[in-house]
């Protein structure tokens, strides 16, 4: 990541909005923003598939759910944050499982880049399906979009829900309902 280029761009933005980038309080802002971007966009050029380590377990083929995973991302349309919680479930096949934290890491890598909420659920479900080859995957994300809360329509507190269902979760209404009821407890 080119931190100096980010700093120069922030200086240009500050000047363009009529601010004095040399005034006290703003003089370190360009370098602060460059370091912040380095952190919050750390998922760029990372492959979320690398997060998942596959283990073999004795034929466990029952639902595995990690819910209420906090996440943060930046909307690629307005470069404002959106944040909320993710729920990830899968049903292992042939004993292929992964650590619970590995599922969380997939969300962290995928959300640590300019994103869309719809893309995060899709990429997360597709990544888990590809690497684990389970019977099915379900991902639901509930998030508040700051581009909708603090600008535009200005409706703070509104939550957008997106989902991606793969395999057994797509094909079985009963399984999908079990997943949805578990995340809403």
The confidence score (pLDDT) of residue 45 equals 97
Assign 112 a pLDDT band (cuts: 50, 70, 90): very high
Q: What residues are paired with 163 via a beta bridge? A: 140
The pLDDT of residue 57 is: 80
According to CATH, where is 1.10.286.10 located in the chain?
3-40
The confidence score (pLDDT) of residue 96 equals 94
Going by CATH, does the domain composed of 3-40 fall within 1.10.286.10?
Answer: yes
CATH topology of domain 48-183: GTP Cyclohydrolase I, domain 2 (3.30.1130)
Q: Please determine, for residue 165, whether its predicted confidence score (pLDDT) is greater than 80.
A: yes
Q: Tell me the mean pLDDT in the region 6-30.
A: 98
Q: Work out the pLDDT band at 59, boundaries 50, 70, 90.
A: confident
Residue 18 is predicted with a pLDDT of 98
CB atoms within 10 A of CB 115: 19
pLDDT, residue 60, reads: 85
Reported as type and span, the H/E element at residue 167 is: strand 160-167
Q: At what angle do helices 29-40 and 3-16 cross, to 10 degrees?
A: 130
Q: What Å distances lie between residue 42 and 39, 82, 91, 144, CA to CA?
A: 5, 16, 29, 21
Residue 163 has pLDDT above 80, yes or no: yes
| All CATH 3.30.1130.10 domain ranges in the chain, comma separated | 48-183
pTM listed for this prediction: 0.95
What is the rounded CA–CA span in Å between residue 41 and residue 150? 22
Return the pLDDT at 58.
73
SS3 71: strand
Mean pLDDT, rounded, of the chain? 97
State percent of the chain over pLDDT 90: 96
């Amino acid at each position: 990541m080119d931190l100096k280029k980010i700093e120069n761009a922030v200086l240009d933005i500050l000047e363009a909005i009529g601010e004095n980038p040399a005034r006290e309080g703003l003089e370190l802002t360009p370098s602060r923003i460059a370091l912040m971007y380095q952190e919050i966009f750390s998922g760029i050029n990372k492959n979320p598939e690398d997060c998942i380590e596959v283990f073999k377990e004795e034929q466990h083929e029952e639902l595995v759910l990690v819910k209420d995973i906090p996440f943060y991302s930046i909307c690629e349309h307005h470069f404002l944050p959106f944040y909320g919680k993710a729920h990830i479930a899968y049903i292992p096949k042939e004993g292929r499982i992964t650590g619970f934290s590995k599922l969380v890491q997939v969300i962290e890598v995928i959300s640590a880049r300019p994103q869309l909420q719809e893309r995060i659920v899709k990429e997360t479900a597709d990544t888990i399906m590809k690497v684990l080859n389970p019977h099915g995957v379900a991902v639901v994300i509930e998030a508040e979009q700051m581009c909708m809360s603090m600008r535009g329509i200005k409706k703070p507190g509104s939550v957008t829900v997106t989902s991606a269902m793969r395999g057994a979760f797509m094909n079985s209404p009963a399984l999908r309902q079990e997943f949805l009821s578990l995340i809403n407890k």
